[in-house]
Copies of this chain bind each other. A is one copy, B any other.
Amino acid sequence: MGEGQTVPLAAEQAHYLFSVMRLGVGDAVLVFGGRAGEWLARVSTAGKRGGALLCERQTRPLRLPPDLWLLFAPIKKARTDFIVEKAAEMGAARICPVQTDFTNAERIRQDRLQAHAIEAAEQCGGTYVPEVCNLRRLSDILADWPEGRRLMFCDEALVGAGAALGDAPRGPWAILIGPEGGFSDAERTRLRGLPFAHPVSLGPRVLRADTAAVAAMTLWQQALGDWG
């Protein structure tokens, strides 16, 4: 997007703007996406199966979230949707569904979850949409871990032990939330042995995975992210 630039509309977007919202040529909309920030645009062409917008001016610059990934084990559909929504609101840069030893999910609908992340970004007035990755095995992700990225590992076995982020350094991070039912012993042993892993406790009560995701992102954003 840029001043005077035309943005073509996909059939679905045209349907929403012209049939649902009943906009016509000349009507104004706010658009965002990619790295362009938010723009005021006007409908320049309106058709049944497409159309176009003309960008007038940038209303808000792109605001990138901190370099935080959220890794979580997909659970029931409604709660998985919820975790993706909350990750977008809480400012995760990337959302990675992972398969753990106790995860039942064999596949996810990446396209549906990505659409969910876009909607959440729209809802909370964001200018950035986190990328939703495809489902991968936790063991594969750990074997392939990017250098320099730290891992906040929310360990149910630490309940009540009070391990916190403390003086952990800033920089690229990921948060890992286990499935309902927790990590297997093998996973926990492996995670504890990783040099880049920081085990953190989420208090004395056992939290559901979706609650744990929001709570963990809150602790991280407050200690190391953009809430400070």
A positions within 8 Å CB-CB of B: 63, 65, 86, 89-91, 123-126, 162, 164, 201-208, 211, 214-215, 217-219, 221-222, 225-228
Contacts and interface: CB of A to CB of B under 8 A. Distances in A.
A128 to B, nearest CB: 9
A211 B214 contact: yes
Q: In the assembly, how many copies of this chain are there?
A: 2
Contact of A162 (B65, B218, B227): B227
B203 A91 contact: yes
Given A91-B203, A203-B227, 19 more contacts: A89-B205, A89-B208, A90-B203, A90-B207, A90-B211, A91-B204, A124-B206, A124-B208, A164-B222, A201-B227, A202-B227, A203-B226, A204-B226, A211-B214, A214-B214, A214-B215, A215-B218, A218-B218, A218-B219
B207 A89 contact: yes
A101 B127 CA distance: 29
Contacts of A90: 203, 205, 207, 211, 215
A63 B126 contact: no
Contacts of A124: 205-208
Nearest to A162: B228
